Amino acid sequence: MITFFTDPYNDEAISGVYARYHFYNGNYKKEYTLKELVGNGNTSTVKIFPSRLDYLQNQLNNKNYTADYFIYRHTIFPIYSPFVSKETQNKVIKYMKTCGNDKIYIIFSIAQSRLKNIGHYRYCPVCAKEDFEKYGEAYFHRSYQFGGMLICEKHKCKLNDYPIKQNEEGAFIYFHYSIVKDRKIRFYKDSVTKFLNRVSNSIKDIMNLPYLKYNREIIMEKYRDILCDKGYTTPKGLIKQRKLSNDFRQYYGKELLELLDSEIDESAKNNWMRVLFLSSNKFIHPIRHILLIIFLAGDIESFLKYKKKIQTFGKGPWPCLNLVCVQYKKRIIEKYDIQQVHKSTLLNGIFKCTFCGYTYKRKSQDMHGGDVYIKDKVIDYGKVWEDEFLKLLEEKKGIYYIARRMGVKYEFVKYYIDNKKFKPKPIYGVELKKNNFKKYTEDIVRYLRKNPNCLRSDIKRDLEKQYAWIQRNDKEWLNNNLPKPVKSRGGCLKKYNLMEKDEYILGKIKIKYEDIMNEKTPKRISITAIEKRIKARINSKIDELPRCKEYLSKIIETIHQFRIRRLKIYLSSGENVKDKKTRSKILSDTSIHICKLTKEEKVEIEEIIIEYINNFIDAT
């Protein structure tokens, strides 16, 4: 436990808190300070996401300075938090409290976001002066270290980069106000400042939201409500991407979007606006969410308080659709639950009758009212329905009668009669993922018990499906539960003879090459085509396979080489030797667009066709 600590200032970045502690404590190396604060001198010092905050909490032994306090008040995590799921929120918080932050960058797709990285600490020159006059020292505000914050929301001036020497990278940076006090105060032009100020205010509003109150599910529901009311969705609930993107670009202008690295390339299938609504797996940078929120609602407060004018599933109450319930088709269901449709932008409305327990769901494609008496699927039939179903079976009513009376299919009734139980419902989405995780991890654990001395490569070979699935969905579990990678004495992990592998793959390539050449329909010989046929990736490690590389260099075709081979095969076929083909017919049948060829390619094609026509004339 440490007896001295620098009390954090309002909105101070946690790395700045560490730096001031290091400065006042007089430690010579940053490793000593990190050892005292977080128990590990090798921890990276970052200004965005810290680590081992649980250890810091125990060291301080102060009820006010908890790990959650530092995360909420002195990191920029609150800006990212509303735009990820509850599960991701908990995972990132766990990393910051314990092991570290490397995975956080992957979760938040920081490297892939295309936003300019902030290489220096940033500060507002006016805020720095005010802080120095008030506290006797300046400090780094956490909000200014966020990538989308370009101006101070209070003074509307540009943020400056704090000068860092080359040998100070990775070290604790204490804010020496004397270094920057004479720097000029700069501003963007008024038209840009107007929007940037709204962005900065929105960032501050998000940072001050109640801790973990909002998540991606709530934000996406708000988006759908506003888009629906503003006419950006079709009657089936699909988003009018082109209209939305065009209006968005027109609202902000090219200059501002380029400044915030948030341009929308309409020609790209995976532009960020499309991905934001079509994929729940990819994280979109918060600044882009903020721009969209301002465009749709004006500010964060209006967005979060927005109430849908057009009900997604029509105006309530909603009816019970149990054919044997005394409340059938009566509007007695006062509220419904919303569920995300798996791999879709649509929503499921879950409706449950409190009288009979009958529960059904409808997709939001029936929005704008629709037919409230239509259901997509029954989730739970309820006790009233099941009792009536069993009663009809005991009375030995016909299968077709029971099916009509109960609103089910003939196969449903037949299955129960044959198996004395209801047919189990298929599992989709999250539940299926949970079941797969449980099943596959149990398979691996069972394998490890039987083979305690096995290597990772053994598991990957013998449990290929299980290993691949868990590696895609929970790589951390593999790292925590599988044997540690073992290096050979030479530091090489390869346990095979490269010469033998080269010879083996070469044999397979030769066989598949012959197969391709003998096929009736010509196919281009490429590395991709060879890889698909031998079911092995060779291009990435071709330098380790010299014989394969030499052989492939001889057989791989360019597009033009394949075009020539296909043309010659066509002209030499028996039918075309007997019946003369015109030039246009030859080009059409071989899919050759002569206008798209280079001058040299055109000459070669024309020579082959002329030779064919002359030979045909000579033969006749």
Rounded distance, CA 163 to CA 277, Å?
Answer: 40
Q: Which two tokens stand for residue 152?
A: 């101070």
Tokens linked to 253: 């202008």
Place of tokens 């948030």: 262
Per residue in 444-481, pLDDT tens? 999 988 888 888 888 888 888 888 888 887 777 888 88
How many residues would you count in the chain? 620
Q: What sections of 314-428 are H helices per DSSP?
A: 382-394, 399-406, 410-419
For residues 554-571, average pLDDT: 89
Q: Are the beta carbons of 156 and 173 closer than 8 angstroms?
A: no
Structure tokens at 96: 């910051």
Do residues 152 and 108 make contact, with C-beta atoms less than 8 angstroms apart?
no
Strand partners, 340: 347
CA distances to 129, 140, 312, 427, 530 from 137, rounded to whole Å, are 9, 10, 54, 60, 66
Report how far Cα 67 is from the mean position of its chain's Cα atoms: 28
Query: Which tens digits make up the pLDDT trace of 413-424?
Result: 998 888 888 887
In order of 326, 402, 415, 441, the CA distances from 422 in angstroms are 24, 14, 7, 29
CA-to-CA distance for 69 and 12, rounded, in angstroms? 12
Residue 447 tokens read as 């394998």
Q: What would the two tokens of residue 30 be? A: 């940053």
The helix or strand, by DSSP H or E, that contains position 468, with its residue range, turns out to be helix 464-473
| Residue at 121: amino acid letter | Y
What pTM value is reported for the model? 0.58
pLDDT digits (tens, 9 = 90+) for 77-107: 999 999 998 988 998 999 899 887 667 777 7
Q: 202, 299 in Cβ contact below 8 A?
A: yes
pLDDT at residue number 45 = 58
Token readout for 503 is 């010879």
Residue 280's pLDDT band, with cuts at 50, 70 and 90, is low
Helices (H) and strands (E) in the chain, counts: 30, 8
- pLDDT tens figures, 20-62: 999 998 888 888 888 889 888 777 656 678 888 999 999 998 8
Q: What percentage of the chain reaches a pLDDT higher than 70?
A: 88
CA 69 to chain centre: 28
pLDDT for 495 beyond 50: no
- pLDDT the model gives residue 58: 92
Average pLDDT, integer, range 270-289? 84
